[in-house]
Amino acid sequence: MAAGSAVPVPATHLDAARDAEPSTRAANAAMAARLPFADVADFESAKRGLVAPVPDGMVRTQSGTVLWNLGEYAFIDGDLAPATINPSLWRMARLNLANGLFKVTDRLYQLRGFDIANMTVIEGDSGLILIDPLTTAEVARAALGLYFAHRPRKPVVAVIYTHSHIDHYGGVRGVIDEADVKSGKVAVIAPAGFMEAVSGENVLAGLPMMRRAQFQFGSLLPRGARGQVDAGLGKGVARGTPGLIAPTQTIARPIEEHTIDGVRIVFQLAPETEAPAEMHMFYPELGVLNMAENACPLLHNFIPLRGAVARDPRTWAKYIADAIDMYGPATDILIGQHHWPVWGKAAVADYLEAQRDLYKHIHDQTLRYMNKGWRPAEIAEVIDLPPGLAGRWSARGYYGTVNHNVKAVYQRYLSWYDGNPCNLHVLPPAPAAAKFVEYMGGAAAVIARARADFAKGEFRWVAQVMKEVVYAEPANAEARALCADALEQMGYQAESATWRNAFLYGAQELRHGVFQMPARATMGADTLAGLGTDVFFDLMAVRLDAKKAAGQSTVINWHFTDRGEKLALTLKHCTLTHRMGVWSGAAAASITTTRATLDAIVLHKTSAADAMRSGNLKVEGDASRLASLFGMLEQPAGFMFDILTPGEGRSGFSLDT
C-alpha cells in the first residue's frame, strides 16, 4: 500500500515518464517563436564578476552526505530546449546555473547558486555584514567558506534578514555563533514584525504547507528533461539543518538609516509585499539598491502554490515606486536576494518601472473584470501582459503566473466564493466525483472520451475529467494513468517552474503513490523557541482534538518565569482560548515554569512528569488537569497526506452533508 494512500497503486502505473506529444511540441515551438531569444544580456549579467564557482558544484556534510548538487543539472546545456521543456523555462534554468562567489562592486559580494536564495556580503571597516544566510547551516557555512577562500578572513559583525521566509534566515547558525550575538559582538537585524511573521502562518499551517511545497519545488522529482529542471527563483531548496537566531535590532520606522561597521545603510520597510515582514536597503557610498525579493527578474507569486495569505500587489507596486523615487537617481547597481544584478542607472530605472507596472497591471485589470461580475477562472483566461511587459524576460512567469496571480487578487478582495450560490455548498470531492462519473455513463465511457481528447491535445480537460474518475474510483488504474499522462504534458508545456513541478509531481504520485518519507520533526527547536507565547498557545489550540475535549471545562493559569509572562488558558465548548497578562482566580490549576521547559516537553526532550519531579515545572491545585490537557492534544501524524486521491476517511460523506 502506498504511504498515506487509501488504495494500493496498481503495478501498471510503475512506468517511466513519457515523451512530449505532438501538441506539446507545437506549443513549445510556438513559445520559442514569439519570445526574443536573441537577447542574451541576462547571461552576461549572470556571469559578471565571477570570482570562483561553487567547488565541485556541491555541498556535503562532514560524513559525506550530499546536501546540494548542481551536477544533477548537467543535462541543462545548450540553447536548444528538449521537447519536454518549455523553451522559456529552459532559458531560465540555464541562467539559474550561474553559481559561486561574485564581486558586484568594491566591498560588496554575492554568493549565488548554493541554495535557492543569495547570500550578500558587505565588507565593513572591521568585519563582514551578511545579508540573508540561506536556508540551512551547512550550505551557509560552505558559502562563507568560499568567500574566505578568496577574500580576507574577517569576523562577522552583523547579519541582516531582509524578510521572514526561511531561505533568508535558516542558515544563520552556519555563519555566526549565538553566544557572540548574546555578548553583543554580532548584531542580528530584521524588519518589524519579523518574528511574528516567522511564527505565524508557517507554524499554524506548517504541515500542509510542507506537503504542498513538494509540488511547488519538485523536490522529490528526478532531475532531467522529463523531471525537475528549476524552481524559478533558483535550482531548488538546499537540504541540511535550518535554524533561527532572533533579531537583536528591529527596523521599525518606514525609513531608517544606520551606520554598521562604517557602512551607511538606509532601510525601507515594505511590509505585506512578497512577505508579511520585508525591507529594502540602499547603500549610499556603494550606489547599490537591494530590493530583497520584491523585484526579481520574473513574475513573482501573489499566493505561492504551497499556500500563504494572499499578498497585496497594489502595495507591492507602491513600495517599488517609492524605492524608484527615493533611491533611483543615486543607484548604479540593483541587487536582490535571488538571481543576478542590474548595472547602470538607466537600466535599473527601466527594470524597476517594469516591475512596478507588472504587479499593478495584474491587480488593476483583475479588479476591472471583477467589477463586471466575472469569476476568477474567467478573468484568469483573458488577462495577459500588455506590450512592453509581455516581451520582457524579467516579467515572465517562471515562479508566479498571471493565471494564478489573478485568482489570488480575486481571493484577497472577494474570498474563495465566486458569488454563485450553486458553488456555496457543493458536495465534497469524492461523493461529487462518484455522481459526476455516474451521470457521464460510468468510468469506462469517460475514459474512452478522454483518450480521444488526449489525442487532440486537450490535456487540461483530460486532467480535469480524469480527476473526477480517480476520486470516484481511486483504484482505477486506467484513469490514474491517463490523468498522469495529461498532467505530464501540461508540465512539459509550462513556462512556470512551479507549475511544471506541480504537474510532473502529480503525475509521479498517480503512478507510484505517495512517497514514504522518514519520520522527522516538523518544527525545529529554534522555531519553537522563537514563537511568541501568544502564538504558542494558538498552536496548542489548533491541535486540540474536539472529541476528546467533549464535556470538559477548565481554566489553567501559566506563569513563565524566564519571560515574565502570565496567561489564563480556558477550555470550554471543545475550544481552547487564552488571555495574555491575566491570572484567573477561578483556575483549577496554576503552573509555574519556563518557556524553555514547555518547549522541551513539546519536543519530547522531557515529559511533564519529569519536569515536575525536577522542579522545573510546579503546579498549584489539581495537577491532573495538566495531564488531561496534554492528553487532548493531537500529535501530528506526518504531512504525507493524499492530494491526488481522496485519502482515508475523506470519501464517506453522505450526499446531503
The 3-class SS string of 247-298 reads CCEEECCCEEEEEECCEEEEEEECCCCCCCCEEEEEECCCCEEECCCCCCCC
8 located within any domain: no
Exposure of 140 in the CB half-sphere (CA atoms within 13 A): 31
Q: Mean pLDDT, to the nearest integer, of 537-562?
A: 93
405 located within any domain: no
Is 656's pLDDT higher than 80? no
98 located within any domain: yes
Spell out the alpha helix ranges (H) of 513-545: 525-530, 533-542
27 located within any domain: no
Helices (H) and strands (E) in the chain, counts: 23, 21
Domain match, 465 and 384 both: no
Identify the bridge partners of residue 621 per DSSP, sorted by sequence position: 589
* pLDDT in the model for residue 650: 57
Could you tell me the CATH number of the domain that includes residue 592? 3.30.1050.10
Q: Give backbone dihedrals phi and psi of 48, rounded to 5 degrees, phi first.
A: -60, 130
Q: Mean pLDDT, to the nearest integer, of 427-448?
A: 96
Average pLDDT, the chain: 93
Domain match, 445 and 377 both: no
| End residue of a domain, out of 486, 512, 538 | 512
Domain match, 358 and 262 both: yes
Domain match, 131 and 257 both: yes
Q: Please list, in sequence order, all residues whose beta carbon lies within 8 angstroms of the beta carbon of residue 216, skipping any fewer than 6 positions away.
A: 231, 304, 305, 306, 498, 501, 502
Domain match, 584 and 551 both: yes
Domain match, 67 and 161 both: yes
Could you tell me the CATH number of the domain that includes residue 504? 1.25.40.880
User: What percent of the chain has a predicted confidence (pLDDT) above 70?
Assistant: 95
Domain match, 358 and 474 both: no
Could you tell me the CATH number of the domain that includes residue 220? 3.60.15.30
532 located within any domain: yes
| pLDDT tens readout for residues 372-394 | 999 999 999 999 999 999 999 99
* pLDDT in the model for residue 531: 83
Residue type, 421: P
Is 26's pLDDT higher than 70? yes
What is the domain extent for residue 559? Answer: 525-632
Residues in the chain: 657
Domain match, 223 and 92 both: yes
Domain match, 212 and 235 both: yes
Residue type, 399: Y
Identify the bridge partners of residue 565 per DSSP, sorted by sequence position: 560
Domain match, 265 and 119 both: yes
Domain match, 345 and 466 both: no
501 located within any domain: yes
| pLDDT tens readout for residues 51-104 | 999 999 999 999 999 999 999 999 999 999 999 999 999 999 999 999 999 999
29 located within any domain: no
Domain match, 485 and 568 both: no
Q: Into how many domains does the chain fold?
A: 3
Q: How confident is the model at residue 6 (pLDDT cuts 50, 70, 90)?
A: very low
CB of 552 within 8 A of CB of 627? no
| End residue of a domain, out of 395, 420, 438 | 395
> In angstroms, rounded to a whole number, what is the distance separating the alpha carbons of residues 463 and 482?
8
* pLDDT in the model for residue 14: 46
518 located within any domain: no
Proportion of the chain in helix, strand, coil states, percent, rounded to 5: 40, 15, 45
